[in-house]
Structure 1
Amino acid sequence: MSTDVARLHQQLVNSLEQTGTLRTEPWRRAVESVPRHEFLRGGFFRRVPNAFPVAWQPVLEDSADWIRGCYTDESLVTQIANTIVPTDIRGDILREPTSSSTLPSLVVRMLEELRLEPGMTVLEIGTGTGYSTALLCARLGEGFVTSVEYDAEVAARAETALARVGMYPKLVTGDGLIGFAKGAPYDRVIATCGVRSVPREWIEQTRPGGEILTTVGGWLGASELTRLTVHDDGTASGPLLGGRASFMLARPQLPPPLGLLPDLSAGEEREAVIGAEALDDWTSRFVVQCAVPGGRRLAMERDGRQEDLLIDSDSGSSAALYQEAGRWTVRQHGPRALWDTAEDQLGRWNAAGAPEPARFTLRVTPEGQSYSW
């Protein structure tokens, strides 16, 4: 490792320690031993400033910005539109990111929250670039780490990068939402992708008393980190940890195409007790998302006014909200009164003092998952 790279690496380690993210000596040694740039060979994409619509520009290894970027505390996009990598293009691209190297502070925070001890086995969902996999190997030893990646090309690049730093954990290409039963039971499961609901397979493949660390979120875009303890009866429960952790959703849980919008003139109108601004705040949006897990938000101009539209992909129901003379009106259509459900959930949350997510508890049973606060 060159002097400049070593200096940048050490600066990142020191920064993570100073901010309180890197808290324990075993993880400090792991972060110091794993060079992040080895997992970003081939470059990354950086968002083009002030571009609308959002555009991305490749930063390649021959750029002076590449090595500095590798050791900044930011997420770096490594794949766009499921197939495009930085070396594929010149200029800007306007498609959606599909894989990234998560900002080191979030990676390290999650690893610290995993409460690992020597000898524990870990199942990682989402190998990605392989950087977090390498940190797990540095902490536990490669024989205790199994990692599953959905995308075969991403998995191949991660395997190459891990081999480059001399690490050979068990790598599996497949749907991480079903885990990897052949290696079960695991002491810990950690997911580096977001999920709408915690898969039963993760619980079944974790020993009783073991823990699952994942982000839970949905199509409204608010997500939180949770640590669940698996119980003897096949259920799991635990707190949300706060801090607004955000990952790309697991690909099988991404929303389906919208298709045709419902008839926006249909439905019954009433005065709304709570307006659409509840969907602007992260925590209240998360609360709505708990009540309407299939909800998606759209904004549109209709009849000369702005309307906020909440569509439930699960039931086909919709709720349109608009404001006139300082008063909100909602028009609901379909088998489920979406905004009634959202207002009921928000009302109970407000009555409890609008607690922060760190006071929430998630419980997962064979019947589904539920939140309390």
Structure 2
Amino acid sequence: MTDQAQLHQQLVDRMMVGGSLRTEPWRRAAAAVPRHEFLRGGYFRRVTGPQFHTAWEPVQAGDPDWLDGCYTDESLVTQVAGTIVPEDIRGPITREPTSSSTLPSLVLRMLEELQVEDGHTVLEIGTGTGYSTALLCARLGAGNVTSIECDPWVASRARTALGHLATYPTLVIGDGLLGHGAGEPYDRVIATCGVRTVPMAWVEQTRPGGLILATVGGWLGSSELARLTVQGDGTASGTLLGGAVSFMLARPHTPPQLGLLPDLDDGKERETTIGTEVLENWTSRFVVQLAVPNAQRVTLERDGRTEDVLIDVKTGSWAAVYSEGGRWLVRQGGPEPLWDAVEEQFGRWCAAGAPALEEFTMTVTPEGQTICW
């Protein structure tokens, strides 16, 4: 057995032991698709140093640890800043990741959760490197798989990698939030990017009884996997599946630049019943996010204290929360008191017994999206 084959088998074994790979059809698919074929352009490795908090350095195909990295159960960044790929630079770069190869155990967990059956047609939102696309093709046949990618360069790389494996699904370059109506109705829709709201186009392009699997989150950085069943009336509903699943947001759903901060000294101050610990915990942050869906968070050092500031990018409302003398204080400004909404939502959730996210339900209709417990 070659080093590559051994590393591949070890990865499959780890996923089976870990429980993300549960059924024989998906085990065969995982064993048939070599991940390194989708990383021949290299990837970025996270590095830290005294001069920066987080940076990324390229690992090229042929580097001593490239192959080992391909078969780690980790997400591997393949593009930063929207255009920069590993072969473009030498040394660290301090820019935000914009495309990646998701950790295989999450990919296979999601594919298992999709509950496909032989003959099903699948629309994949976000081709990425093409690894998950290849897994779908190995399980269902390439003729049953349509994958859409917004970035032409990313799509081209994926097409080449899939071609090396003689795998030819329908690949589309376009806005995945619009789906791909030419192939509807689909039995399953799966998104490999995060969304703030599930687009109605996905619901409309899925047959009644079909499933949509998507990671739903927001600008406070907490998200969860949702599995929705499409109903005959053109709506979709289901539950969150838990597990703190996180993906890069679809580019149209990413937060806008904040620009100039408001005058944080110009507001009404009062004591608050909750502090910024609600923003640190994944579950409570998800609950808070539902109350202030258009808010971004900024942490500042001001007047010798740390202030966590929420800013609503639509209304301009803001809330600055900080600790002083053993008390939590909040100062708010703008047309809507943001922290009042946080307190009310968080209080209702606590009064209900602080249910886990797996107990939350989600509904998508032409009028909008609701998530509740």
Same fold (TM over 0.5): yes
Mean CA deviation greater in 352-361 or 135-144: 352-361
1:335 aligned partner: 335
Question: What is the one-letter code of the residue matched to 1:329?
Answer: L
1:371 aligned partner: 371
Mean CA deviation greater in 332-341 or 106-115: 332-341
The separation in 1 between residues aligned to 2:48 and 2:326, in whole angstroms, is 35
Question: What is the one-letter code of the residue matched to 1:217?
Answer: G
2:252 aligned partner: 252
- Aligned with 2:258: secondary structure? coil
1:129 aligned partner: 129
Task: Give 1:295 shift.
Answer: 1.2
2:203 aligned partner: 203
1:28 aligned partner: 27
1:308 aligned partner: 308
The separation in 2 between residues aligned to 1:84 and 1:226, in whole angstroms, is 31
Q: Counterparts of 1:65-84 in structure 2 under 5 Å?
A: 65-84=65-84
1:117 aligned partner: 117
Q: Deviations over 1:148-171 (max 9, x none)?
A: 001000000000000000100000
Q: Name stretches of at least 5 consecutive residues in structure 2 with no aligned partner.
A: none
Q: Deviations over 1:180-239 (max 9, x none)?
A: 111111110000000011111111111111110000011111110010111112211101
Question: What is the one-letter code of the residue matched to 1:346?
Answer: F
1:227 aligns with 2:227: yes
Task: Give 1:302 shift.
Answer: 2.0
Q: Deviations over 1:237-277 (max 9, x none)?
A: 10100000110000111111111111211222221111111
Q: Counterparts of 1:74-223 in structure 2 under 5 Å?
A: 74-223=74-223
User: How many pairs were matched up?
Assistant: 372
The separation in 2 between residues aligned to 1:368 and 1:335, in whole angstroms, is 23
The separation in 2 between residues aligned to 1:127 and 1:78, in whole angstroms, is 13
The separation in 1 between residues aligned to 2:224 and 2:349, in whole angstroms, is 16
Question: What is the one-letter code of the residue matched to 1:39?
Answer: F
TM-score under structure 2 normalisation?
A: 0.98
The separation in 2 between residues aligned to 1:347 and 1:221, in whole angstroms, is 21
Question: What is the one-letter code of the residue matched to 1:44?
Answer: Y
1:47 aligned partner: 46
The separation in 1 between residues aligned to 2:237 and 2:132, in whole angstroms, is 25
- Aligned with 2:143: secondary structure? helix
Question: What is the one-letter code of the residue matched to 1:286?
Answer: F
The separation in 2 between residues aligned to 1:367 and 1:319, in whole angstroms, is 29
Q: Counterparts of 1:316-355 in structure 2 under 5 Å?
A: 316-355=316-355
The separation in 2 between residues aligned to 1:9 and 1:283, in whole angstroms, is 34
The separation in 1 between residues aligned to 2:53 and 2:21, in whole angstroms, is 36
Task: Give 1:49 shift.
Answer: 4.2
The separation in 1 between residues aligned to 2:28 and 2:321, in whole angstroms, is 52
The separation in 2 between residues aligned to 1:204 and 1:136, in whole angstroms, is 22
Q: Deviations over 1:63-101 (max 9, x none)?
A: 111100111100000001111111111111111111000
Percent identity between matched residues is: 69
- Aligned with 1:55: secondary structure? strand
The separation in 2 between residues aligned to 1:304 and 1:12, in whole angstroms, is 49
1:239 aligned partner: 239
Task: Give 1:50 shift.
Answer: 4.9
Q: Deviations over 1:6-51 (max 9, x none)?
A: 0000000000001111000000000000010000011110001456
- Aligned with 1:260: secondary structure? coil
- Aligned with 2:358: secondary structure? helix
The separation in 1 between residues aligned to 2:274 and 2:365, in whole angstroms, is 31
Q: Counterparts of 1:292-303 in structure 2 under 5 Å?
A: 292-303=292-303
1:56 aligned partner: 56
- Aligned with 2:108: secondary structure? helix
- Aligned with 2:355: secondary structure? coil
Mean CA deviation greater in 302-311 or 86-95: 302-311
Task: Give 1:54 shift.
Answer: 0.7
1:38 aligned partner: 37
The separation in 2 between residues aligned to 1:271 and 1:365, in whole angstroms, is 39
Task: Give 1:359 shift.
Answer: 1.0
- Aligned with 1:27: secondary structure? helix
- Aligned with 1:270: secondary structure? strand
Structure 1 ranges of 4+ moved more than 6 A: none
Question: What is the one-letter code of the residue matched to 2:5?
Answer: A
Q: Name stretches of at least 5 consecutive residues in structure 1 with no aligned partner.
A: none
- Aligned with 2:306: secondary structure? strand
| Aligned-residue RMSD, C-alpha | 1.0
Task: Give 1:352 shift.
Answer: 1.1
Task: Give 1:53 shift.
Answer: 2.3
TM-score under structure 1 normalisation?
A: 0.98
The separation in 2 between residues aligned to 1:338 and 1:210, in whole angstroms, is 38
Question: What is the one-letter code of the residue matched to 1:27?
Answer: W
- Aligned with 1:343: secondary structure? helix
The separation in 2 between residues aligned to 1:371 and 1:274, in whole angstroms, is 22
